[in-house]
Structure 1
Amino acid sequence: MYYGVKIRMYGINGNEDNLRYYNAMVKDNVNLTLLIVIRSFLFSALLLILKMTLFFNQGSDSVTHWTILVWCYTVISLAWNMIGYQCAERSAQPDKHRITKFGQGIMLLWYSGTIGARILLIAIAASQWPLYTFLGCMLNWILWTAWIYNQKDGAHNFCRELTRSELTEPAHLDLWTFLFSAVLAEVYTFTLVNFKEGSTFLRYCFYYVLMTLQNGTVLILDIYFGSSTDEFSVTYLYIFRILSILLFITGIVAMLIYYMFVHAKVKCYAVTCCPV
């Protein structure tokens, strides 16, 4: 609000500081949308895993058709929050194009598929081996926390003071940066958040190869070592195993389509890319 008022004031007066305040506003908007992403995953994603775990353990009496629709809406909402962050990040970079509506639709398939598959598989594993699933998630969280904290020009510069003209890194352990890295690492359990400028190709390749290996390991362990005496649970486990595979494949294919044909930096004929 502060920067918005300043933009209006300097715009009316014709002051050249208008652009400086606009850049500050869009950068703060990126930080705000990132906080929205973190909040949604800290609450909605973990709650959805808990509800689905109870569903696999208790059977059909624990849910209704309306509940399943709410679950689907939750996954789509998580994906849409990620799209909002990506769009805000693009708007803060004047040298890059905006993400088109068609591109946002492809991204919705990408994030819905990969996030939905991840939540399903964690819930399936938690219904079979709750303790080992918890330990595995904790190990995953610790490793991502260390990785995020040690990223150059990454978490150290989140919400940095606008008076600092250059990106800096502390020479010693920064408690607040470490805590932010730990919170952001929870989101990395489900999806990759690009919180620093630069090429994302290698980061996405590394992350989704790792996610594929983890998801495949959970599926293999569940198929060969999972146990359930309830016929209903066995039937639904098979259905959701297949669903998780289809969702993940859909998400990966959508991601490849996005970066090959619809990416905002690609000059394509099917989509009109409008510069900021």
Structure 2
Amino acid sequence: MMFESADISMLRLLETFLKSAPQLVLQLSIMVQQNSVEPLQGLSASASLLSLAWMIASYQKVLRDSREDKMPMSYKGAVVQILWHLFTIAARAIAFALFASVFQLYFGIFIVTHWCIMTFWIIQGETDFCMSKWEEIIYNMVVGIIYIFCWFNVKEGRSRYRMGIYYVITLSENAALTVLWFLYYDRKTTSDFDALILVCVVSSSFALGIFFMFIYYCLLHPNGPMFGHLPRKKYPAWDAHFIDRRLRKTILALGHAAPSTPRLQYRTPGAPQELLEYETTV
């Protein structure tokens, strides 16, 4: 049930980024163009931003709770991780909104290009979430949408170098988008003082997000700064789940060639009788 809960949290995370993230950028872009913020607009944008940060931290906590080879995440760590993603996504979304308010066509080209590069990067990482190859590619394409807005680890092992590369790219893109907007924004609707405030909001929000990221990894990470990854072979529950996923993939592959649905049978080491039999449908 905990493994299924982690998979459901992943699906909710994907749904949130497919719905709330584009809505957030659209709302912020309208606010920038109108140079005004209605109470309902501000509340809706804040709710979208909070839901994005909340779902990432929630998925990470549920994932760690479902795996015995991972130390559980504390609630303090979850709160700090929410703040980390809250400020980095806010900086990213505001930079997108500023650029899109002036360069609509080029913004679309930029988003598609960034998504293609991130999707290719994820595919090269060889993730293992779905049962079939094509389902895994579609999953990687959807995760690439998350990478438009924030970092999301989808590969086992140490991620500090990949995360560092991602945030260097994100910082460069945020700076370029904000500078281009500052050079070409409509000075009839937005004053120079308001423009400087928006630039400071983007930079300070990203800096706060990186600050909370360091707080999380230095003080509140479940494994701690002095510990590495625990050996997986000591945890039979995760081994059983990992082997079961491999077996299900094999069954699905055989199902395309076999005339009837294959069956998988479990036996106990000491008893000859069958305990459980189930079918995997294609």
TM-score (norm 1): 0.76
Question: 1:237-274 CA distances to partner (integer Å, 9 max, x unpaired)?
Answer: 43222111111100000001110111111179xxxxxx
Aligned to 1:146: 120
Match of 1:136 in 2: 110
Pick the aligned partner of 2:53 from 79, 89, 107.
79
- Does 2:6 correspond to 1:26? no
Cα distance, 1:197 vs structure 2 = 2.2
Query: What is the deviation of 1:178?
Result: 2.1
* Stretch deviating more after TM superposition (227-236 or 180-189): 227-236
Partner in structure 2 of residue 176 of structure 1? 135
| Residue aligned with 2:25, SS | helix
Shift of 1:235: 4.8
Per-residue deviation, residues 164-204 of structure 1 (Å, max 9, x unmatched): xxxxxx8xxx4332222111111110112222322121221
| The one of 204, 216, 222 aligned to 2:175 | 216
Query: Is 2:215 the counterpart of 1:257?
Result: yes
Residue type at the aligned position of 1:56? V
TM-superposed CA distance for 1:88, in Å, is 1.3
Letter of the aligned partner of 1:177 in structure 2?
A: E
Q: Report the equivalent of 1:3.
A: none
Give the aligned partner of residue 129 of structure 2: 158
Judge conservation of contact 2:49–2:86 (CA < 8 Å) in 1.
Answer: yes
In structure 1, the residue matched to 2:24 is 48
- Alignment-mate amino acid for residue 22 of structure 2: L
Q: Could you report, residue by residue, the CA deviation over 1:37-68 in whole angstroms, capped at 9, with x for unpaired residues?
A: 111111111011112112222232xx412321
Residue 93 of structure 2 aligns to a residue whose secondary structure is: helix
Mapped to 2, the partners of 1:181 and 1:233 lie a distance apart of 42
Q: Measured at CA, do residues 158 and 267 of structure 1 come closer, stay the same or move farther in structure 2, by a change above 3 Å?
A: closer
Give the direction of change, closer, same or farther, for the CA distance of 1:203–1:74 in structure 2 (3 Å limit): same
What SS class does the counterpart of residue 128 from structure 1 fall into?
coil
> 1:220 offset after TM fit, Å?
2.3
TM-score, normalised to structure 2's length?
A: 0.75
Query: Are 2:170 and 1:194 aligned?
Result: no
Q: What is residue 97 of structure 2 aligned with on the other side?
A: 123
1:207 aligns with 2:181: no
Give the superposed CA RMSD: 1.9
In the TM superposition, 1:241-256 aligns within 5 A as 241-256=199-214
- 1:37 corresponds to 2:8: no
Structure 1 position 95 matched with structure 2 position 69: yes
Once the two structures are overlaid, the 10-residue window that deviates more, 259-268 or 140-149, is 259-268
Whether the 8 Å contact between 2:73 and 2:222 is mirrored in structure 1 is yes
Alignment-mate amino acid for residue 204 of structure 1: M
* Structure 2 contact 125–155 (Cα < 8 Å) conserved: no
5+ unaligned residues in a row in structure 2: which ranges?
227-282
Q: Distance in 1 between matches of 2:44 and 2:144?
A: 26
Q: Which runs of 5+ in 1 are unaligned?
A: 1-24, 161-169, 269-276
The alignment-based identity, stated in percent, is 27
Cα pair 1:30 1:89 within 8 Å, conserved: yes
Deviations 1:64-113 (A, max 9, x none): 12321331222111101001111012112213221111111211210100
Aligned to 2:69, what secondary structure does the other structure show? Answer: coil
What is the distance in 2 between the residues matched to 1:91 and 1:35?
A: 17
SS of the equivalent of 2:162 reads helix
Task: Pick the structure with greater CA Rg.
Answer: 2
Indicate the SS of the match to 2:149. coil
